[in-house]
Amino acid sequence: MTAGGEPRLLGVSIPLLIYRTARALTRPVPWLAALAVFAAGPAIAQGNYPARPIRLVVGFPPGGGNDIVARLLGSKLQEAWGQSVVIDNRPGANSIIATEIVAKAPPDGYTLLVNASGMVINPSMYATLPYDTLRDFEPVTMLATFPFVLVVNPSLPAHSMTELIQYAKSSPGKLNYSSAAAAFQLAVELLKIQTGISLNHVPYKGSVPAISAVLANEVQLTIVDTTSAVPQIRAGKLRALAVALPRRSASLPEVPTMAEANVPDFEISGWAGLFAPAGTPRPIVLRLHQQAVKILHMPDIREKLLGLGAEPVGNTPEEFAAQMKAQIDKWINVARAANIKAE
């Protein structure tokens, strides 16, 4: 206490000390301000997403089923969001090259993957992969499913599955088949096991090259997705013997199912799905999902997909993730039982 009665603490006037303390508390602290900006950054970025071009990586060459689906999706995303969507085809190694690119991309929503059902088959075919299919991706939605169809070169003296099986058994090891990805190879290998025929495998980097090989009679047959094969079938350049569905395909109603063609319990279909790298902010994943589902419900997109034999899906990220897990487990068991490995 001073002589004049003013209270003091450590020689400093207490009213002055209170004033200085209050002023210090209201002054901005640089590191706290920086932290606030850093914390707000992702929210700002997500709110403005997309603010620059998006890259859609596809593991197959142009013209195949996944490429067609990716281009339909990309064109509509570009229209809706006003940002360029670039299709980046990176074929090879059963789509492993493209999948690895996206697995290692920044998780910001600007590098995405459109991949096939081979994504859940590769873990059963390869001892090691440069990514973890379940851990390294955010499944956004399954875009579409499409049936598999067995086609042959018209010069092959087989107009039905029964005739193909008889011809293959009478000429063991003389028929070659092409495969566009692990899913198609596994389908033919399962056919070989179920029917007891012998076929030689020749791999190609996509459905279009695999079909071109059949057209040129470099190989005699293949199993491929209907989205790639329907135009050549309708043009009479390929002969379709059976679809691997429980019912006939709407795009190929004249082609019997495998069961109708005396190959029972042979049902395999493919799909195209949209993925983001693991760690992509949830708001971005949900925005991608909502827009993709909206696109799949557009009449012109549905008409184009159905015309190619594909069926739009648009399930939730959670449903898609659960389906992937179940399919990985299934194909691992099938591959082990059949002793099938990637060549």
User: Residue 216 sits in a domain of what CATH number?
Assistant: 3.40.190.10
Answer yes or no: do 132 and 218 share one domain: no
Last residue of a domain, one of 204, 227, 243: 243
C-alpha torsion sign, points 56, 61, 66, 72: positive
| Whole-structure pTM value | 0.74
Number of alpha carbons in the 13 Å side-chain half-sphere of residue 75: 9
3-state DSSP call for residue 231? helix
Answer yes or no: do 70 and 136 share one domain: yes
Domain of residue 123: give its range: 54-145+269-338
The reply to whether 314 falls in a domain is: yes
Query: What is the C-alpha separation between 71 and 22, in angstroms, rounded?
Result: 61
Answer yes or no: do 139 and 273 share one domain: yes
The label of the residue with tokens 């029917």 reads: 195
Give the largest Cα separation in the chain, rounded.
Answer: 121
Count of structural domains within the chain: 2
Which pLDDT score, from 0 to 100, does residue 207 have? 84
The label of the residue with tokens 């690119």 reads: 101
Query: What is the C-alpha separation between 240 and 238, in angstroms, rounded?
Result: 6
Query: What is the C-alpha separation between 146 and 151, in angstroms, rounded?
Result: 15
The reply to whether 286 falls in a domain is: yes
Which pLDDT score, from 0 to 100, does residue 46 have? 52
The DSSP H or E segment spanning 127 is none
Answer yes or no: do 156 and 130 share one domain: no
Answer yes or no: do 200 and 227 share one domain: yes
Which pLDDT score, from 0 to 100, does residue 195 have? 94
C-alpha torsion sign, points 291, 296, 298, 300: positive
Last residue of a domain, one of 175, 208, 243: 243
The reply to whether 40 falls in a domain is: no
The reply to whether 209 falls in a domain is: yes
The reply to whether 250 falls in a domain is: no
Answer yes or no: do 115 and 71 share one domain: yes
The reply to whether 186 falls in a domain is: yes
Answer yes or no: do 170 and 90 share one domain: no
Answer yes or no: do 130 and 163 share one domain: no
Which pLDDT score, from 0 to 100, does residue 250 have? 81
Answer yes or no: do 274 and 130 share one domain: yes
pLDDT, averaged in runs of 10, over the chain (343 residues): 46 46 43 39 62 96 89 97 97 92 98 94 91 97 94 97 97 92 85 93 88 97 90 95 91 94 90 97 98 98 87 96 93 78 65
Which pLDDT score, from 0 to 100, does residue 293 have? 98
Answer yes or no: do 62 and 141 share one domain: yes
The reply to whether 39 falls in a domain is: no
Answer yes or no: do 234 and 211 share one domain: yes
CB 116 within 8 A of CB 66: yes
CATH number, position 83: 3.40.190.150
The reply to whether 160 falls in a domain is: yes
Answer yes or no: do 301 and 314 share one domain: yes
